[in-house]
Amino acid sequence: MDLFEKIAKLREDGLAQIQTAENEKKLNDVRVALVGKKGQLTEILHSMKEVAPENRREVGQKVNELRDIFNARLDKAKDNLLKKLVEEKLAKEAIDVTLPGRKTYMGSKHVIRIIQDDLEKFFIGMGFKVVQGPEIENEHYNFEMLNLPKDHPARDMQATFFVDPSHLLRSQTSPVQARTMEKHDFENGALKMISPGKVYRRDDDDATHSHQFAQMEGLVVDKNITMGDLKGTLEAVAKHVFGQDRETRLRPSYFPFTEPSVEMDVSCFNCDGKGCSVCKNTGWIEVLGAGMVHPNVIRNAGLDPKVYGGFAFGLGLDRFAILKYGVDDIRDFYTNDVRFLTQFRQEED
């Protein structure tokens, strides 16, 4: 085979190889084999000495021509491969815009939190500050400071979880009263505070009892605070939560840290006071405990009970929620079934 035939054959084979190289690596191998420094075209140039001198020019021309053709085809083939790659990638990553979207679920505030936030806003509007206290309390603040000395029988009113002999899970938010009163600078004016939070009592859980629930404590201490202030404040709370048409009444009660002590009832919002199952046919529903701060509690905080006095109240946030929304099982607040919880979504602001 003379060199011209060789060139013609290389042209045919080379173009076929370029066309069939199915990826970049193979195409590169073909490039090296055809037009590389030690490739087949170079090889032909090396064998030029075998060519008759008068033909050398033409061979050289043919080789150069073929190199140009190869290079052009190789570049084109490379372009095509890259295009194919991009197309494949796009096809793989294609988003089907006709697919229905995935549903996402929005959380919502817990109903107890909704009531708490609403009451906080209400009290802040009346000049109260919001105070927090520890859930693990000591006997000093949970009992002694609140006029419940050791062995006082009223300690049994609230069955308590003890953590160790002197610490307990607070059974009420009232210890926050004592802690705040102790720190307050009365020279600078009245103390008006609320304290929302969790409390714990050793109860067997059922539809109306829970070993953990939420209270909100309220305390106002200053000179010249009267029972009228207590009544006016609580009436405003009751109307705010249960409706402007509600009536309220105070009944005598007993708490060790208040004297006199009262319980407040609101007229039944279900039957408007006529008597129904919600109010057990009395027309009234008990909503909170309160009273005038006991002189001993004032004294324990380092104040003179002849000069300072005040009122305090404690309300159950769970109880408020139960009454306001007609919930029939307190455990629903804590088992966190989203079907129950999401019912209150519209109550958020």
Residues forming the annotated binding site?
259
In the complex with ligand PHE, the residue whose CB is nearer, 269 or 313, is 313
Of positions 128, 213, 242, 313, contacts ligand PHE by CB under 6 A: 313
Tokens representing residue 81 in the block: 């491969």
What residues numbered 150-179 form the site for ligand PHE, per CB under 6 A?
172, 174
Q: Is 290 in the site for ligand PHE (CB under 6 A)?
A: yes
Smallest distance from the beta carbon of 193 to ligand PHE, in angstroms?
Answer: 12
First-to-final CA distance of the chain: 94
Q: Is 142 in the site for ligand PHE (CB under 6 A)?
A: no
Cβ 185 to ligand PHE, closest distance in Å?
22
Beta bridge partners of 315: 216, 288
Closest to ligand PHE by CB, 246 vs 294, is 294
Cα–Cα–Cα angle for 128, 266, 192, rounded to 5 degrees: 10
Helix, strand, or coil (residue 286): strand
Residue 214 tokens read as 């939420």
**Least CB distance from residue 96 to ligand PHE, whole Å?**
59
Q: Which helix or strand (DSSP H or E) is residue 118 part of?
A: helix 111-125
268-299 core/surface letters (b: 16 or more CB in 10 A; e: else): bbeeebeeeeebeeebbbebbbbbbbbbbbbe
- Residues 332 and 344 sit within 8 Å (Cβ to Cβ): no
Burial class (CB in 10 A: 0-12, 13-18, 19+), 218: buried
Q: How far apart are CA 52 and CA 138, in angstroms?
A: 114
How many whole angstroms from its chain centre is CA 345? 14
Report, in Å, the least distance between residue 279 CB and ligand PHE: 21
Kindly state the smallest distance separating residue 201's Cβ from ligand PHE, in Å. Answer: 9
Give Cα separations from 285 to 24, 236, 262, 271, 290 (angstroms). 84, 16, 14, 11, 15
Contact 292, 230 (CB under 8 A): yes
Let me know: does 192 contact 129? Beta carbons within 8 Å.
yes
Q: Indicate the annotated binding residues for Mg(2+).
A: 259
x/- mask, ligand PHE, residues 195-234, rule CB under 6 A, reads: ----------------------x-----------------
Nearer to ligand PHE, 200 or 255 (CB): 255
Rounded least distance, CB 104 to ligand PHE, Å = 41
- Segment interacting with ligand PHE (CB under 6 A) among 33-41, 137-145, 294-302, 307-315: 307-315
Stretch that binds ligand PHE, among 40-48, 58-66, 204-212, 286-294 (CB under 6 A): 286-294
Q: Which one of the spans 47-55, 70-78, 288-296, 327-335 is the region binding ligand PHE (CB under 6 A)?
A: 288-296
Considering the rule CB under 6 A, would residue 327 count as an interface residue with ligand PHE?
no
In terms of CB distance, is 197 or 291 closer to ligand PHE? 291
Q: Which lies closer to ligand PHE via its Cβ, residue 9 or residue 129?
A: 129
Cβ 295 to ligand PHE, closest distance in Å? Answer: 14
Strand order in the sheet with 136-138: 136-138, 167-169, 161-164
Helix (H) or strand (E) segment spanning residue 315: strand 309-316
Distance (Å) of CA 120 to CA 56, 126, 194, 246: 102, 10, 8, 21
Query: Rule CB under 6 A: is residue 309 a binding residue for ligand PHE?
Result: no
**255 binds ligand PHE, rule: CB under 6 A:** yes
Is 133 among the residues that bind ligand PHE (CB under 6 A)? no
Q: Which stretch binds ligand PHE (CB under 6 A): 53-61, 100-108, 312-320, 335-343?
A: 312-320
Minimum CB separation of residue 218 from ligand PHE in Å reads 7
Residues of the shown chain interacting with ligand PHE in the complex, contacts defined by CB under 6 A: 172, 174, 217, 255, 258, 289-291, 312-314
